Amino acid sequence: MNENSVTRTFFDSYTRALLERDAGAVAAHYAVPCLIEFPDQAIAVSDARQTEEFFASAFAQYRDVTAADAAVTVVAEAGHSIWAEVSWDHHGGAPDERNMYQLVRTGGGWKIAVLTPLDA
């Protein structure tokens, strides 16, 4: 599998977990440890429960979203890491988003190690 098919498969699964509002399944897509680099706030995640609780509390802002398109562009890869820019087109009322993800190869497949929001 090349980096484009890896990222497409990964973000298809991640999108399903988000749309199903399954915080446990979303958290399973994140490595531990990982880093969420929000503007003015970096969150160092040291336990999968942190990710699960974060998404469980954030689902309310996406309550009207029934579909989402993820336009994925691989910007770099290094065998053990893939950097992907993802533009999210949320259908149903939530603002669109654009993020940079660093995926890392783990024993269980690929997981998000770093998430950085970008300007939309």
Mean pLDDT of 74-92: 94
pLDDT digits (tens, 9 = 90+) for 46-81: 999 999 998 999 888 888 898 999 999 999 999 899
- pLDDT for 46 equals 95
More confident residue, 30 or 64: 30
SS (H, E, C) 34-80: EEEEECCEEEEECCHHHHHHHHHHHHHHHCCCCEEEEEEEEEEECCC
Domains and CATH numbers, the chain: 3-118 (3.10.450.50)
Q: What is the largest CA-CA distance in the chain?
A: 38
**Residue 93: which pLDDT band, with cuts at 50, 70 and 90?**
confident
How many CB atoms neighbour CB 34 within 10 A? Answer: 21
Place of tokens 């531990």: 32
- pLDDT for 41 equals 85
Per the prediction, the chain carries an average pLDDT of 93
Q: Is the pTM of this model over 0.85?
A: yes
